Amino acid sequence: MHKESLEDIGEKELIKRLAEFMPSNQISDDCAFIKTANKNLLMNTDSLVENVHFSKETISIKDLGWKAVASNMSDLISSGCDKIIGVNIGLVVPPNTDWTWIKDLYKGINLALEHFGGSILGGDCSVGKEKVISMTAIGQQGEIKLRRNSCRPEEVIMTTGPHGLSKLGLMIKSKKIFDSNIHLTQTLIDQSLQQFCKPKLHTKFLKTVLKARHNKSIEKIGCTDSSDGLFQALLDLSIESNYKAVIDYTKVPRHIDWPQGDEWDKYYFFGGEDYELVFSLPRKWAKNLISLDNSITEIGYFCEGSPAVEFKNLKNDKFLKCKPFSHF
Instruction: Render pLDDT for 50-91 as a digit per residue (tens, 0 to 9).
Output: 998 999 999 999 999 999 999 999 999 999 999 999 999 999
Is-contact 272 166, C-beta < 8 A? yes
Name, in order, each residue with C-beta under 8 angstroms of 231's C-beta and a sequence gap of 6 or more. 269, 270, 309, 320, 324
First to last CA, the chain: 21
pLDDT of residue 13: 78
pTM attached to this predicted model: 0.89
Q: What percent of the chain has pLDDT over 70?
A: 91
316: pLDDT confidence band, cut at 50, 70 and 90?
confident
pLDDT reported for residue 30 = 63
Per-residue pLDDT at 328: 53
Q: Which of 199, 166, 213, 205 is closest to 79 using CA atoms?
A: 205
**Sheet containing 81-93: order of strands:** 32-34, 41-49, 132-141, 81-93, 119-127
d(CA 293, CA 200): 16
Amino acid 3: pLDDT: 75
pLDDT at 8 over 80: no
20-30 pLDDT, tens digit each? 776 666 666 66
Q: Over 60: is that where the pLDDT of 174 sits?
A: yes
pLDDT of residue 58: 93
Q: What is the pLDDT of residue 140?
A: 96
State the pLDDT confidence band at 288, using cuts at 50, 70 and 90: very high
| Average pLDDT value for residue range 10-32 | 69
pLDDT digits (tens, 9 = 90+) for 237-282: 999 999 999 999 999 999 999 999 888 999 999 999 999 999 999 9
pLDDT given for residue 10 in this prediction: 74
pLDDT range class, residue 236, cuts 50, 70, 90: very high
Q: Structural domains in the chain?
A: 16-141 (3.30.1330.10), 145-321 (3.90.650.10)
pLDDT at 28: 67
